[in-house]
Amino acid sequence: MDIILKQDVNNLGYKNDIVTVKPGYARNFLIPQGMAILATERNRKILAEEMRQQAHKEEKVRNEAMDKAKALEGLKLRIPAKAAATGKIFGSVNNIQIANAIKEACNLDVDRKQIILSDDTVKELGTYTAKIRLHKDVQTEVEFEVYAE
């Protein structure tokens, strides 16, 4: 079944993509949640018109994302955490703390949903890498170190 995504869906596609999924997934989850609509001929024509109108806006957003990526390139963050003598952290470091550290370091607002950790949370001291997806075509990596307070 072909559908048109109305928002970004992890491991499926980006907004306004036409993708093929199993009918049950579309009818029972994506369409009722408002994440997609059926890719009928009428909806495809509407999508084509919207894409034509938004082409210049998309280029501006992409250029802003490229500028942010250049600012984040080579950035090394230090994030403090309370830790035991063995190196285990009390609690964890997640994408919210990384977003706050980026805000403090270079005064850039990065949405926490754009930050992807290989593990969902970091639970030990050490150096890690986070992938930041600023735009569907623009991704960068930021290295961060978790140290004991």
Residues 73 and 133 in one domain: yes
pLDDT value for 5: 95
CATH number assigned to the domain comprising residue 54: 3.40.5.10
The per-residue pLDDT string of the chain (149 residues; one tens digit each, 9 = 90 and over) reads 999 999 999 899 999 999 999 999 999 999 999 999 999 999 999 999 988 888 888 888 889 999 999 988 888 999 999 999 888 999 888 889 999 999 998 888 898 889 998 877 788 999 999 999 988 888 999 999 999 98
Give yes or no for a contact between 146 and 81, defined as CB atoms under 8 angstroms apart.
yes
Residues 24 and 82 in one domain: no
The whole domain housing 56 covers: 2-68
pLDDT value for 78: 92
Give yes or no for a contact between 148 and 82, defined as CB atoms under 8 angstroms apart.
yes
The pTM assigned to this predicted structure is 0.66
Q: Which of 135, 94, 93, 100 is nearest to 114 (CA)?
A: 135
pLDDT value for 66: 92
The C-alpha atoms of residue 105 and residue 145 are separated, in whole angstroms, by 13
CATH number assigned to the domain comprising residue 133: 3.10.430.100
Only one residue has tokens 């009928």, namely 40
